[in-house]
Amino acid sequence: MYDEIYCNRSANKENWCIFMEWGDNPYLDKSEVQLMTSTLSADELESRRYGRFRSSSGLVYGEFDDNVHVIDPFEVPQEWSHVLSIDPGLNNPLSCHWYAIDPDGIVYVVAEHYVAGKDVDWHADKIWQISTKLGWPTDKFGNLQALMDSAGNQKTLSGTKSVAELFRQRGINVNTQVNKDMSYGINVVKGYLKTADGKARLYVFRNCSQLIQEIKGYFWGDNDRPVKRNDHAMDELRYLLCSLDKPAKAEASKSIIQKDKERLYRKLQRSMYK
C-alpha cells in the first residue's frame, strides 16, 4: 500500500490519497479528542490521529507533507536565483532537478530529469531541452549553471575526460565542490522542510514525481545512515540546499549529545521493529 499507492512507484495517474483525522469526524466529542491527543507522542499522533504512514525503522524526512510541500507549478520569475543540481549516472539513473530560489530564500523544485542507461550527450541534450522550455537563464557565456556530485570528476570508460568535463563541453557548467557530509546535509534538508517556527522553506512542483517518491520512501537503515536505495534525487537535493545553507544553518547545527540521542532512538526503534 505504501509503495504502490502512497509513493505511487508505477506513476499511475489513477492513484490518489485523501487523509482524514479525528477532527474531521463531527460525532467525536472534542474533549475526548483533546484527552486522547495529550496521551500520544508526536510520532504516534502522525499515524493514529492524522492517518499518515509511519515506520518503526523511521522515515528520514518525516517532516515532509504532501499537503504542504507539493504544489501546483507556476511561472517562475526571471529575477529569482536559478540553478540545476545533478547526481550523475550512466547505468544508474542520472538525477537532475531545476531549483529556483526567491528573494526570501525559499526554494522551489520546478522540474526534473531522471533517466538511466543513457550517455552524457543524451542527458545534456534533454537538460537543454527542458531548460529552453522553462526559459531557464544562462550565464554571460551562454552556459547553464549546475552543481554535481564530486563523483563526476572520475574519468569515463574511455579514460580521457571526466563526466564533469563532458558536461562543461556541452554548455552545462558544473561545480563539483559540493558538501557530501550526509549527517549535516540531512539536517539542512530537515530545516528547509520545517523550520523552528513550523514553516516550510522548500516546495516541490507536482510534476517532479520521482523526487516526491524518493523523499516519501527514504528510510533510516543500519549504522545511522539511510538505506542506500532509490536515493539519487535525495543526494542532489542535499547538495543544493547545503550550497545555500543560510536560512537552514541554525536548524542544521546539533550538539553531539542531540545526535547521539537520535542515533540511540533510531537503533531502539529498529530493534523493536525487527
Q: How far is CA 237 from the centre of its chain?
A: 5
Asked if 43 and 117 sit in the same domain, the reply is no
Least confident of 7-16, 41-50, 161-170, 235-244: 41-50
Asked if 116 and 192 sit in the same domain, the reply is yes
Asked if 234 and 128 sit in the same domain, the reply is yes
Secondary structure element (H or E) that encloses residue 241, with its range: helix 232-244
Q: Are 184 and 232 in contact (CB under 8 A)?
A: no
Give the bridge partners for 71, in sequence order. 205
Q: What is the pLDDT of residue 16?
A: 84
Which residue, 12, 28, 54, sits at the end of a domain? 54
Q: What is the pLDDT of residue 211?
A: 96
Asked if 155 and 27 sit in the same domain, the reply is no
Q: For residue 82, what is the domain's CATH number?
A: 3.30.420.280
Share of the chain above pLDDT 70, in %: 86
- The pLDDT tens digits for 185-218 are 998 999 999 887 888 999 999 999 999 999 998 9
Q: What is the pLDDT averaged over residues 44-49?
A: 76
| Cα–Cα–Cα angle for 188, 194, 196, rounded to 5 degrees | 90
Of the two residues 85 and 40, the one the predictor is more confident about is 85
pLDDT exceeds cutoff 70 at 42: no
- The pLDDT tens digits for 231-252 are 999 999 999 999 987 543 444 4
Secondary structure element (H or E) that encloses residue 20, with its range: none
CA dihedral 113, 118, 120, 125 (to 10 degrees): -50
Share of the chain above pLDDT 90, in %: 48
Q: What is the pLDDT averaged over residues 102-127?
A: 94
- Model confidence at 48, pLDDT cuts 50, 70, 90, reads confident
State how beta strands 94-101 and 81-87 pair: antiparallel
- The burial class, CB within 10 Å (0-12 / 13-18 / 19+), for 127 is buried
- Model confidence at 110, pLDDT cuts 50, 70, 90, reads very high
Asked if 70 and 27 sit in the same domain, the reply is no
CA-closest candidate to residue 107, choices 193, 198, 219: 193
Asked if 232 and 151 sit in the same domain, the reply is yes
Asked if 16 and 126 sit in the same domain, the reply is no
Measured CA to CA, the distance from residue 28 to residue 256 in angstroms comes to: 44
pLDDT exceeds cutoff 90 at 157: no
Structural domain containing residue 27? 2-54
Q: Are 247 and 195 in contact (CB under 8 A)?
A: yes
Q: What is the pLDDT of residue 43?
A: 63
Q: What is the pLDDT of residue 273?
A: 44
Q: How many separate domains does the chain show?
A: 2
pLDDT exceeds cutoff 60 at 112: yes
Q: What is the pLDDT averaged over residues 98-116?
A: 95
Q: What is the pLDDT of residue 8?
A: 83
pLDDT exceeds cutoff 50 at 56: no
- The pLDDT tens digits for 260-269 are 776 776 666 5
Asked if 153 and 24 sit in the same domain, the reply is no
What is the rounded average pLDDT for all residues in the chain? 85
Q: What is the pLDDT of residue 161?
A: 84
Per DSSP, the three-state class of 96 is strand
Asked if 92 and 199 sit in the same domain, the reply is yes
Q: What is the pLDDT of residue 252?
A: 47
Asked if 22 and 104 sit in the same domain, the reply is no
Asked if 25 and 151 sit in the same domain, the reply is no
Q: What is the pLDDT of residue 250?
A: 41
Which residue, 16, 34, 54, sits at the end of a domain? 54
CA-closest candidate to residue 96, choices 129, 69, 142, 62: 129
Q: What is the pLDDT averaged over residues 11-30?
A: 87
Measured CA to CA, the distance from residue 50 to residue 42 in angstroms comes to: 11
Asked if 18 and 123 sit in the same domain, the reply is no
Measured CA to CA, the distance from residue 2 to residue 47 in angstroms comes to: 13
